[in-house]
Amino acid sequence: MIKLREIISCLIVITVLSSCGSGSEQSEKTNVEVSTENLIVADYAIEGMVCAMGCAATIEKDVAGMDGIALADVDYEAGKAHFEFDKEVVSEKEIIAKIESIADGQYKVTEWVESNEVEEVEASEEEIVESNEGSITEVSLPSFEIPNLFTLLLDRI
């Protein structure tokens, strides 16, 4: 009986050790160092994302898994993707092709353009102030009367 227990224990230990070793070999990824002279920074607008946890995270993870990518950051709310990569290892076309191939072509990549909406709003507010200086505008609100709830309840009784 003791020999049977020893044999089963040995088989279990061997099985566990062999399965642990094979999994670690498959998950290893080679790290590529990116020199500053080959470093390219690229920002893209990505259309077609519907959520941060699924879409943006998937794009970020898939592009970060490519060789030569030093940084992958996708901002769902802004619709912007920021990548830093080694131009000798991977090209912008490859990154764009990778993004557009995710989810059966759901995402469309275009050039990122910084918007100056804040500056335009501030400028238009200044123009309104300048154009209205010296003039007084009278505003009237519609008048309404709130009924006395106590009187309404007494009338119902």
Q: What is the pLDDT of residues 55-100, one digit of tens each?
A: 899 999 999 999 999 999 999 999 999 999 998 999 999 999 999 9
Per this entry, what is the length of the chain?
157
What angle is formed at CA 156 by the lines to CA 150 and CA 157, rounded to 5 degrees?
95
CATH code for 39-111?
A: 3.30.70.100
Which pTM value belongs to this model?
A: 0.53
Residue 41 in tokens = 């920074």
> Which residue in this structure is represented by tokens 């009367």?
145
User: Distances from the Cα of 70 to the Cαs of 26, 28, 53, in angstroms?
Assistant: 22, 17, 21
Radius of gyration of the chain (CA): 32
Domain spans, the chain: 39-111
pLDDT tens for each residue of 12-70: 656 544 443 333 333 334 455 666 778 889 999 999 999 888 889 999 999 999 999 99
